[in-house]
């Protein structure tokens, strides 16, 4: 397998036994068997069909902002987009971003070009690709409001384009979340705006985040999806879980919807806190909290 991979990817972009703690915002996680940096659609088009054909486990990594990798690592291949897959271009009121670009980068480019509609994404730590898959959102904005189309690659290496309707965006989900389609590029349709107003709104949201969220600690942002008719943070607080701690993992005192790494947490600590919160909220309020966090590998 690796003999074939080396014919597609230069050796310096193939890393064995890579600690995933270096690639997730939780700053925890064991080693991936192999991490490969992808710099083009062509490379991906040669790898994806091959890995599927030989039934090799692989995982497409964005910015690792919604990911918890087990302490025992991941016995598979992690594919991570490099700088050539992070490019952003502007044409009129449309921004086209490759999947590896960060949402914050795209929002900054929008601001510089006086384009409004993406202000909500300025503080979201994920990538464009991951953001589209889960319909990322914050402060009354979400990706479905600005996505015009998505270019992706299926398991056979074929390129397909999905428009906004075909993406079937829902709350923290989309049509491709559970399908073997890799996002390659996203076209965002924005509106002409006033640069100073856009900058002002982004600064306002940044201050809101700073005052309400535990940004000083590693986390995955909001740990749980918002259950219908409730707020996850309030349910957790009312269940008496504020500050609840196992090892170095803790329910944030500042915002109960965040599970944070206080410095020396293990992935197992974080997962245990998440599961205990789910259990207590279910027991007390008969509400099931669904994690936004994706669990990968062996814990």
By annotation, the residues acting in catalysis are 172, 222, 292
Q: N- to C-terminal Cα distance for the chain?
A: 26
Residues constituting the chain? 299
Phi-psi region of 114 (alpha: psi -120 to 50; beta: other; left: phi over 0): left
Q: What are phi and psi of 92, to 5 degrees?
A: 65, -120
Give me the torsion for CA of 200, 202, 206, 212, rounded to 10°: 100
Q: Per-residue b/e over 16-51, b at no fewer than 16 CB within 10 Å?
A: eebbbbebbbbbbbbbbbbbbbbbebebbbbbbbeb
**Six token digits for residue 293:** 């966090």
243: how many CB neighbours lie within 10 A of its CB? 12
Q: How far is CA 46 from CA 53, 94, 99, 182, 232, in A?
A: 11, 30, 18, 13, 42
Phi-psi region of 249 (alpha: psi -120 to 50; beta: other; left: phi over 0): beta
């Amino acid at each position: 397998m690796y003999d074939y991979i080396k014919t597609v990817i230069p050796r310096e972009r193939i890393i064995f036994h890579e600690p995933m703690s270096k690639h997730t915002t939780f700053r925890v996680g064991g080693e991936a068997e192999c991490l490969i940096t992808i710099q083009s659609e062509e490379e991906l088009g040669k790898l994806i069909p091959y890995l599927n054909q030989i039934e090799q486990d692989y995982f497409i990594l964005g910015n690792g902002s919604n990911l918890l990798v087990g302490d025992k690592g991941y016995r598979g291949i992690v594919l991570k987009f490099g700088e050539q897959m992070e490019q952003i271009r502007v044409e009129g009121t449309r921004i086209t971003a490759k999947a590896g670009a960060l949402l914050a980068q795209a929002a900054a480019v929008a601001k510089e070009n006086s384009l409004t509609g993406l202000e909500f994404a300025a503080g979201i730590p994920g990538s464009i690709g991951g953001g589209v898959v889960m319909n990322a959102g914050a402060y009354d904005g979400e990706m479905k409001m600005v996505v015009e189309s998505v270019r992706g690659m299926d398991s056979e290496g074929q390129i397909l384009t999905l428009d906004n309707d075909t993406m079937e965006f829902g709350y923290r989900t989309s049509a491709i979340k559970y399908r073997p389609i890799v996002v390659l590029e996203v076209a965002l349709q924005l509106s002409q705006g006033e640069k100073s107003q856009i900058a002002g709104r982004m600064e306002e949201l940044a201050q809101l985040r700073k005052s309400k969220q535990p940004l000083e600690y590693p986390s995955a942002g909001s740990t749980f999806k918002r259950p219908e008719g409730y707020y996850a943070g309030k349910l957790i607080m009312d269940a008496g879980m504020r500050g609840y701690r196992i090892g170095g993992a803790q329910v944030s005192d500042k915002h109960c919807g965040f599970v944070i790494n206080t410095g020396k947490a293990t992935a197992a600590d974080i997962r245990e806190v998440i599961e205990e919160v789910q259990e207590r909220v279910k027991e007390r309020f008969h509400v099931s909290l669904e994690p936004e966090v994706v669990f990968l590998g062996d814990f």
